[in-house]
């Protein structure tokens, strides 16, 4: 696949797929080859909006198209497993929206099939590829301000109760943890590694999903991450990283294109990273590069990180007695 344009397919035409397709148009090395939705009208409208070459009213036709290199899976959480396996069985590279699965057993099976068929697979945790987050990672890795002492991160939105909304639908993997709580947890794991201890408590709503979830992770050297997510309370959605000689704040909302404030003593500086897109183009460019190089997994979001992430999420769900 050296140097050629990477031909994308999109499976599912919901809200996040629109943002993804909009940003894909800005990537020179990508072309939107086909889209698929079980709703024919939705597929047609989506295809026309983003100039896809082809559209389908079923997923089988999408994965059978020989003109597609990679498929972005944008369906609800509980369908990720089924749809990823469908793509991998047809030897299509996959970028699967987070969470990659709703249990470690699912993710292990997805990875096994990708390895068996020698196909690229990556979880779409777009934050990892954003310029402001890469900047923070570089500062931490450089040890310029010493070791991390503590991380605090939250992600809260106020969504009116509605049984039709997927966030309140247990069958669709609803709740705060898997949808938005995954971002603070990813941040903690990415910067501090797998936790040694996990404690959590949650408010379980009447549709038996977590309306909010409070998590504390203890890492090596007893460093703690204090994390919070909610679909009932709006928060600043910022991340505060305390180091030995400074404090780094990823300003709200930390998981999407944002600014970073570094405070050292009584001096502070804010670094801005303006982008003209939603920000999905950075992960698209990365996937294109991986495919052009013939890689079967990402060097920034490798499958080992997806396993660590889902293992942590599984443990948290056990702590709060939440099953899907």
Query: H/E/C letters for each residue in 128-144?
Result: HHCHHHHHHHHHHHHCC
Complete domains list, the chain, with CATH: 6-125 (3.40.50.720), 131-272 (3.30.360.10)
Distance of alpha carbon 137 from its chain centroid, rounded? 17
Please enumerate in sequence order all residues whose Cβ is within 8 A of that of 208, keeping only pairs 6 or more positions apart, or say none.
Answer: 170, 322
pLDDT for 22-81, tens place per residue?
A: 999 999 999 999 999 999 999 999 999 999 999 999 999 999 999 999 999 999 999 999
Which pLDDT value is given to residue 3? 60
pLDDT for 258-277, tens place per residue?
A: 999 999 999 999 999 999 99
pLDDT of 1 over the 80 cut: no
| Segment holding 15, helix H or strand E | helix 15-24
Which pLDDT value is given to residue 322? 86
Q: What percent of the chain has pLDDT over 70?
A: 99
Is 233 assigned a catalytic role?
A: no
Phi and psi at 2, nearest 5°, equal -65, 125
Of 38, 98, 137, 152, the catalytic one is 98
Q: For the whole prediction, is pTM greater than 0.85?
A: yes
Tell me the pLDDT band of 221, cut-offs 50, 70 and 90: confident
What distances in angstroms separate CA 229 from CA 63, 158, 237, 312, one per listed residue?
A: 35, 11, 9, 15
d(CA 242, CA 239): 10
d(CA 324, CA 102): 8
Handedness of CA 246, 251, 95, 314 (dihedral sign): positive
């Amino acid at each position: 696949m050296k140097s050629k344009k990477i031909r994308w397919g999109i499976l599912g035409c919901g809200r996040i797929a629109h943002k993804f397709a909009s940003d894909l148009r800005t990537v020179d090395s990508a072309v939107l080859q086909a889209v698929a939705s079980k709703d024919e009208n939705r597929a047609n409208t989506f295809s026309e909006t983003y100039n896809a070459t082809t559209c389908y009213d079923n997923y089988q036709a999408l994965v059978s198209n020989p003109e597609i290199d990679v498929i972005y899976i944008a369906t609800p959480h509980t369908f990720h497993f089924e749809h990823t396996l469908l793509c991998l069985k047809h030897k299509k590279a996959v970028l699967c929206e987070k969470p990659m699965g709703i249990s470690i057993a699912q993710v292990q099976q997805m990875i096994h099939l990708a390895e068996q068929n020698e196909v690229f697979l990556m979880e779409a945790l777009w934050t990892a590829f954003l310029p402001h987050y890469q900047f923070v990672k570089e500062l931490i890795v450089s040890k310029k301000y010493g070791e991390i002492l503590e991380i605090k991160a939250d992600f809260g939105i106020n969504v009116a109760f509605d049984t039709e909304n997927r966030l309140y639908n247990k069958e669709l993997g609803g709740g705060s943890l898997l949808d938005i709580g995954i971002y603070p947890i990813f941040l903690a794991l990415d910067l501090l590694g797998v936790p040694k201890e996990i404690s959590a408590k949650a408010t379980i709503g009447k549709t038996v999903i977590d309306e909010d979830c409070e998590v504390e992770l203890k890492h090596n050297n007893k460093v703690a991450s204090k994390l919070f997510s909610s679909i009932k309370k709006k928060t600043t959605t910022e991340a505060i990283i305390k180091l030995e000689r400074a404090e780094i704040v990823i300003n709200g909302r930390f998981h999407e294109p944002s600014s970073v404030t570094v405070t050292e003593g009584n001096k502070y500086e804010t670094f801005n990273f303006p982008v003209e897109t939603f920000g999905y183009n950075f992960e698209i460019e990365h996937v294109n590069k991986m495919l052009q190089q013939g890689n079967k997994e990402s060097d920034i979001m490798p499958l080992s990180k997806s396993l660590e992430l889902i293992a942590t999420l599984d443990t948290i769900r056990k702590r709060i007695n939440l099953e899907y």
